[in-house]
A = this chain, B = another copy of it.
Amino acid sequence: MAGYPRAVARLVEALERLPGIGPKSAQRLALWMLRQPSERVTAMAQAFLDAVTQVHLCEVCGFFAETDRCTICADPRREAQLVCVVADARELLAIEQTGQFPGLYHVLGGVLSPLDGIGPEELSVAGLLDRVGGGTIGETILALNPTPEGDTTAAYLARLLKPRGVRVTRPAMGLPVGGELSYADKVTLERALAGRQEL
């Protein structure tokens, strides 16, 4: 029985290591790559290499940076007393894209998930407490996903942060803008009613 040449097998294995890519998808991607002009694949490999060599984590907030500090932490116009805590860079970017948030960030690097072996040591919790200990921060917004893990992580952080004299908030939960009340799930509706606001 013949199989793929070694270089193809190694390519399939490399692609299989990507999260969410199974053996069938890896094979499909490998075949696609081998049909591309080689400059295209070379450029892709170069993008991988550039990313690992040029990108670091900001020493203050944990977001991606090409120098010691990210462009957000290095920006003197950002309000240093307001820090938004997020699980990862995607959420940071989603908030940046609103163009409305004037403060800084803190990227935890995930949420607590004991089943996956992710405890406080795996996240940038000590770093957050250090920053709060610095005395400049007046409020931390815990912008974690409204999922069981996000809720647990927020509760855990709140317990640590409050005694340090910092204000701890979470983004409001309720109906998504443009959503229909009759399509909202029970928990969302419950929270939206509980958090109702004066007009």
How long is the Cα–Cα vector from A50 to B64 in the complex, in angstroms? 29
A46-67 CB mask vs B (1 if < 8 Å, else 0) is 1111111111000000001110
Q: Which chain B residues border A71 with CB–CB below 8 Å?
A: 2, 5
Total interface residues on A, CB under 8 Å, equals 58
Q: A19-B32, A89-B31, A97-B1 are in contact. Are A6 and B66 (CB under 8 A)?
A: yes
Q: Complex Cα distance A47/B5, Å?
A: 13
Asked if A7 lies at the interface with its beta carbon under 8 angstroms from chain B, I say: yes
- For A88, the closest partner residue in chain B by CB is B31
Are B5 and A55 in contact, with the CB atoms below 8 A?
yes
Q: Is A117 an interface residue (CB 8 A)?
A: no
Segment touching B, from A33-41, A129-137, A155-163: A33-41
Q: Is the CB of B32 within 8 A of A28?
A: no
The dominant DSSP class at the A interface is helix
User: Which residues on B sit within 8 Å (CB–CB) of A99?
Assistant: 1
Contact of A25 (CB < 8 Å), options: B6, B20, B41, B54 = B20
- The contact of A5 among B35, B65, B97, by CB within 8 Å, is B65
Q: Evaluate contact between A47 and B1: CB separation under 8 angstroms.
A: no
Q: Are A72 and B2 in contact (CB under 8 A)?
A: yes
Can you spell out 28 A-B residue pairs with CB atoms less than 8 angstroms apart?
A1-B96, A1-B99, A2-B72, A2-B75, A2-B96, A3-B96, A5-B55, A5-B65, A7-B51, A8-B64, A11-B47, A11-B48, A11-B51, A14-B43, A14-B48, A18-B29, A18-B32, A19-B28, A19-B29, A19-B32, A30-B51, A33-B52, A34-B52, A34-B64, A35-B109, A41-B49, A41-B52, A42-B48
Name A residues whose Cβ lies closer than 8 Å to a Cβ of B: 1-8, 10-11, 13-14, 17-20, 25, 27-35, 38, 40-55, 64-66, 70-72, 75, 88-90, 93, 96-97, 99, 109
